[in-house]
Every structure is written in structure tokens, then in C-alpha cells.
Amino acid sequence: MNRVDFTTVLERLNALAEVYDRKAITQKAGDVWWQVLKSHVAADVLGVIDNWARTRAKWPTPADISSAAGEALSDRIEQNAAEDRRRERREIEQMGSTPHGREVLRLIRDFLAQPRDQDYHRHSKGVIEAYLADDCLYYVNPVTKERKPINGQTVTAQLARWHAEALRIPWAEVERWKREGLPPVWAAKAARVPGQDDEENTNADKATGSPRGAPGPESGARGALLEANE
């Protein structure tokens, strides 16, 4: 709530004080009430105050009002979530009530079950590599095919973050590569030349920041995903 809302809250509290035969809230006491209640929605606080005399025999403390307002917010969130679930179920049931709707649902399920194609993964890797190298990205108009540069590292970073999520790579890992001047995991792996002896490959690992035999960023499920999509 803001200070204007809190003025209304104080008015309601002082009216409630008369019911409980309490003194009006002083300025110093009002500052305490403000600090406790300012993070709440004004409507929730006012609702609690308006209903207090119906159910409570004692004058409320700031903590009492804060707790009750928090419960009101939680209840509203749960009610909204339940209504959203009911609406989604109704929409799906209505969509699947006709042969055409059932066919559309089947196509959606089939599409979601498909693996991402290789071109998408190559594109995602390219965006991340451009971010690491501070290179300019380009937007291609789907109609005219005209390429226009996307300026600004903020935009580039956001795009790189989205594509890292698509590849299931933690953003903190990408930031570490950029901060330490390391290549991405797929580039580090590509630097290893099949057939080289251990000493040569070890030197290549040192150059790419991917020490051999140690669990690196490419290990685990994420590494398997990247290997499958290279």
C-alpha cells in the first residue's frame, strides 16, 4: 500500500479504537503501524479491520492485522489458482468435445513430444557464442529476409539467457565462461582431436579450459543432451 492508502487505514483503525474504548493512534504509533503493514495490499488490511469487531473481542496489535491480511492474500491466491485450473479443464473439455478439437489436441501432444530439431540447437549455440564474444546479433525479417543488427549487450544477454535455458545450460555457467574467457562446452569438446596422444589432448584441454578427467560443464545429463544435439 502507499501513504494515501495508509491514511484510510489509520482512519478505520481510529474508528475501531472507539469501539474498543482505546485512545486514538498517535503519530509515533502510526509510524509503527505503517512499518508493519506497508507491504500488504490496502484492500486486505481494510477488510481485516472492517471485520475485526464482528469476530474479535480484543483490540488488535499491528502483528494481528498483518497476520490476518497475509492469510487473506494466501486465500485469494489459492482461490485464483483453483479457478484457473477449473477454467483450463473446461477449455480442454470443450476443445475435445468435437472430432476436430480432439484431432488438434492430438497434434499438439505429438508436437510437444518431438525433440527440438538440430537447426534450433545450432542457432541457440550461435547466440550464446555471439554473447561470449561480444559480437553483434542480427534480426532477419521473415518476409523481406533483410538482416538488421541488434544493438546493445542487454538485448544480446537476454537472448543468450533464453537460448541457454532452451539448451538446459545454467546461466551462471554461461556467465562463468564469459567472465573467465572460456569457450562454451561444445567448443571445448571440439578442441579434442581424435587420435592425438594423451599429452597433446591434455594441452588442448588446458587451452580450452576443460581439464581432462575432471567433471566439467559438459558432464552429466546436460552434457548428454548437448552431445545428442551436436
pLDDT at site 134? 82
Instruction: Give me the chain's average pLDDT, please.
Output: 76
Q: Please tell me what DSSP assigns to residue 2.
A: -
Per-domain residue ranges of the chain: 1-114, 118-228
CA atoms within 13 A on the CB side of 19: 16
Q: Is the pLDDT of residue 193 over 60?
A: no
Q: Is the pLDDT of residue 127 over 80?
A: yes
- Please report, rounded to a whole number, the percentage of residues in the chain having pLDDT higher than 70: 69
pLDDT at site 162? 83
pLDDT at site 37? 94
- pTM reported for the whole predicted model: 0.40
- Pick from 96, 122, 127, 98: nearest CA to 109: 96
- Pick from 44, 37, 46, 36: nearest CA to 16: 46
Q: Predicted confidence band at 166 (pLDDT cuts at 50, 70, 90)?
A: confident
Residues 6+ apart with CB under 8 A from 141: 147, 148
Dihedral sign (CA 87, 88, 90, 91): positive
Q: Predicted confidence band at 204 (pLDDT cuts at 50, 70, 90)?
A: very low
Give me the torsion for CA of 78, 82, 85, 87, rounded to 10°. -130
Q: Is the pLDDT of residue 57 over 60?
A: yes
The most confident of the ranges 80-89, 104-113, 159-168, 174-183 is 174-183
The three cell numbers of residue 170 are: 545454467
Contact predicate 118/229, CB 8 Å: yes
Contact predicate 174/132, CB 8 Å: yes
pLDDT at site 121? 81
Q: Is the pLDDT of residue 3 over 70?
A: yes
Per mean pLDDT, which range of 12-21, 48-57, 195-204, 211-220 is the poorest?
211-220
Per mean pLDDT, which range of 33-37, 135-139, 169-173 is the poorest?
135-139
Distance separating alpha carbons of residues 65 and 48, to the nearest angstrom:
7
Q: Is the pLDDT of residue 90 over 50?
A: yes
pLDDT at site 30? 94
Distance separating alpha carbons of residues 85 and 91, to the nearest angstrom:
10
Say how far residue 24 (Cα) sits from the centre of its chain: 44
- Would you mind telling me the total number of residues written for the chain in this entry? 230
SS3 89: helix
Q: Please tell me what DSSP assigns to residue 61.
A: P
Residues 6+ apart with CB under 8 A from 201: 192, 193, 212
